């Protein structure tokens, strides 16, 4: 699914160059449930952003689902994000002025799916996370756990091959976190590749494979 070779990325902060990813090598197979763990500033979120095509990298090679990412155009990158990847963010990133069902339907809007089909698929996705009856509520009317479940429904509505979750339980209590992790495990059981970035060992322990990152380098895989 993912093949990364010698991947590097740095930021310029004033006169200093900050190397965030340093020659990272990584392979993740289709259908794996993987966690990437590291301390704050270790580069784990940047790695997730690069893997999710949300950010560019400076050097190296990244092959996603058989395609060399460095060669993709802006339009192809957007299409790949839409069709291949589903995102779950720590801060949920739901659009506050849209209802739950409208938020969930958004990836299908950018895929050009007609309105009725979008609506139907979005309701099914909300059903799968147990929020069918909350479809017409806005995010501000939902609890944190419910918002994250809406975000999860939005991530899966387009049936992507891979879910990238950035600290998906970071803003949730333990009971709600467990429910979210359960949903991620269900998706994995259905054959989806799930990559979770976390700094919580409990979350990492819930995955099949742990990748530890430190100072921009893969420190340990197991």
Partner 1 sequence: MLERWIEALLTLGRHRTRSAVTAATMAWGMFMLVILLGASTGLRNGAEFVFRDDASNSLWIYPSVTTQAHEGTPTGQTIRFDLDDITAIQRAIPEVEYITGRFYPPDELTIVCDGRKAVFPVRATHPDHRHLERTEVTQGRFLNAIDLARRRKVAVIGLEVAAHFFAGREALGQTLMIAGAPYRIVGVFDDIGGENERRMLYVPITTAQLVFAGGRRVDQIMLTVPESRISEGERVEAEVRRVLARRHGFSPSDPGAIRVRSMIEQAAEIRGVIDGIELFTWLVGLGTSLAGVVGVGNITLIGVQERTREFGVRRALGATGAQIVALVVREALTLTVLSGGAGLVLGASVLELLGPNLPANELFRDPRADLESLLVATAVLITAGALAGGAAAARASRLTPAEALRG
* Residue 176: CB minimum distance to partner 1, A: 22
Closest distance of CB 35 from partner 1, Å: 20
Cα–Cα distance measured from residue 46 to residue 106, given in angstroms and rounded to the nearest whole number: 24
> Residue 139 and residue 92: Cα distance in Å, rounded?
10
- Closest CB to partner 1 among residues 45, 146: 45
Angle at 190 between CA 186 and CA 194, to 5 degrees: 70
Q: Give the residues lining the site for partner 1 (CB under 8 A).
A: 49, 52-56, 74-75, 78-79, 81-83, 87, 89, 93-95, 97, 106-107, 110-111, 115, 154
Q: The tokens of 193 are what? A: 């590749």
DSSP assignments along 71-87, one per residue: G--HHHHHHHHHHHEEE
Residue closer to partner 1 (CB basis): 38 or 160: 160
Cβ pair 158, 83 in contact under 8 A: yes
Which is nearer to partner 1, 49 or 193 (by Cβ)?
49
Give me the sign of the Cα torsion angle 79, 82, 87, 92: positive
CB of 20 to partner 1, least distance (A): 12
Nearer residue to partner 1 within complex by CB, 94 or 211: 94
């Amino acid at each position: 699914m993912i093949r990364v070779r010698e991947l590097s990325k740095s930021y310029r902060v004033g006169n200093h160059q900050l190397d965030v990813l340093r020659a990272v090598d990584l392979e993740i197979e289709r259908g794996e449930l993987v966690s990437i763990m590291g301390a704050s500033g270790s580069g784990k979120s940047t790695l997730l952003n690069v893997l999710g095509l949300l950010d560019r990298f400076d050097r190296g090679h990244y092959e996603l689902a058989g395609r060399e990412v460095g060669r993709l155009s802006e339009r192809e990158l957007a299409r790949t994000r839409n069709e291949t990847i589903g995102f779950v963010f720590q801060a949920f990133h739901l659009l506050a002025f849209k209802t739950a069902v409208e938020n969930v339907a958004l990836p299908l809007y950018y895929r050009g799916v007609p309105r009725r089909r979008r609506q139907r698929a979005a309701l099914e996705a909300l059903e799968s996370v147990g929020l069918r009856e909350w479809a017409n509520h806005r995010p501000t009317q939902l609890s944190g756990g419910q918002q994250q479940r809406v975000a999860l429904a939005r991530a899966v509505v387009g049936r992507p091959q891979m879910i990238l979750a950035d600290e998906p339980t970071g803003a949730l209590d333990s009971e709600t976190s467990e429910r979210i992790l359960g949903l991620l495990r269900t998706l994995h059981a259905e054959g989806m590749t799930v990559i979770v970035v976390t700094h919580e060992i409990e979350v990492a322990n819930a995955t099949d494979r742990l990748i530890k990152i430190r100072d921009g380098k893969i420190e340990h895989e197991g």
